[in-house]
Amino acid sequence: MTSTLLLRRVVPLDHERRLAVARWQREGHLVRLSQPSPQTRYIAFRAQGCHGIWQGMIGAHAWLQAVGPQWFQWLHQEGADQAVLDLFSAVSRPVEIAPDLLDYQRLVDFRLIQGAALQGACLPCISTPQSDLWVIEGPSQRNAPPRPLQAWLQAVPQVLRVVLGNSELARLPSRQLARGDVLVIAAQTRQLFMADLCVGQFTFGKEGLHMQLTPPDSLSPSAPCVLSELPVKLEFVLGELTLSMAALNEIIERQVLPLEPTAAGNVEVRVGGKCIALGELVQLGDRLGVELREVGRGLGHE
């Protein structure tokens, strides 16, 4: 597929940066994608905090002007950049960042870099009281709490499997099963399954089934809605063809099935047969991916 389709290439690192900015913006933080100035000298550092290890940088002159304007005349002296770096590294918390955005307990590995060394890369840029701070590499881990389900997700179907029980065959039956045979349910488990995980049990009553939901062992019972943590299987539909049984019977190896010219730009993402998003088929590194263009917004198919 990749050898015949001309797909737009998406650099995985750029993709991760865009996702980080979108997530932070959704949480209400002042973050944007921006290119550092090639002419500016930056103080780069590594940060250690509850979100993991991350790398950032801040303009040396802009930081000094914000925290100590009385020292700004240093910038006209020889070795000024090194003096600013020494001052930055001596301060316990030189930059104020919202703890739920990027936390840090300590900064290490201070160095000066020129903006031109980043070759025009677009980096997440965070507005701080001191100056703009660029994130060169995001945190190694992120322990953000799960977000409440969006309204449109309430209509996404999930299959609930009601299992009476099971039996084991010690050996293959000596004859084929036939109409009228009775199979014994050896173990009545009466379990409820969603996404191949047991989510509860049921009992029989006059009105029907009485269900008791319990979180699977792999899920956190303290979660606001344990069912929201269940895995969801996504289907990526490039196109659909309607064929008669006669035409289907004539399909042979290496036959080419036609697709709409716009198929690669209108891939449907489906859950349980319901379309939840539209996107474009792209080359993400060495893998295929779908860059989402529309999510929710009444895309469901009846």
**Cα-based torsion angle of the residue sequence 6, 287, 102, 105 in order, rounded to the nearest 10 degrees:** -140
**In the beta sheet, which residues pair with residue 235?**
270
Domain count, the chain: 3
Same structural domain, 292 and 251: yes
Other C-beta atoms lying within 10 Å of the C-beta of residue 214? 13
Same structural domain, 206 and 301: no
Rounded CA separation 22/69 (Å): 34
Amino acid at 36: P
**For residue 154, what is the DSSP state?**
G
Q: What is the pLDDT of residue 38?
A: 93
Residue length, the chain? 302
| Rg of the chain over all Cα atoms, to the nearest angstrom | 29
Q: What is the pLDDT of residue 127?
A: 92
pTM of the model: 0.65
Is there a domain that residue 175 lies in?
Answer: no
Same structural domain, 24 and 107: yes
Same structural domain, 22 and 133: yes
Same structural domain, 98 and 212: no
Please give the residue range of the domain that contains residue 280. Answer: 148-156+232-302
For residue 123, give the 3-state DSSP assignment.
strand
Is there a domain that residue 13 lies in?
Answer: yes
Q: What is the pLDDT of residue 31?
A: 93
Same structural domain, 47 and 18: yes
Is there a domain that residue 107 lies in?
Answer: yes
Any idea what the CATH number is for the domain that residue 275 is in? 2.30.330.10
Same structural domain, 133 and 13: yes
Same structural domain, 126 and 30: yes
Is there a domain that residue 2 lies in?
Answer: no
Same structural domain, 70 and 126: yes
Mean pLDDT, 10 residues at a time, the chain of 302 residues:
68 88 89 93 92 91 84 67 88 89 90 90 92 89 63 76 82 67 83 84 84 72 60 86 82 82 90 87 90 75 44
Rounded CA separation 223/34 (Å): 36
Same structural domain, 28 and 98: yes
Is there a domain that residue 280 lies in?
Answer: yes
Is there a domain that residue 205 lies in?
Answer: yes
Structure tokens at 12: 């995985």
Is there a domain that residue 1 lies in?
Answer: no
Q: What is the pLDDT of residue 302?
A: 41
Is there a domain that residue 260 lies in?
Answer: yes
Same structural domain, 201 and 130: no
Same structural domain, 41 and 117: yes
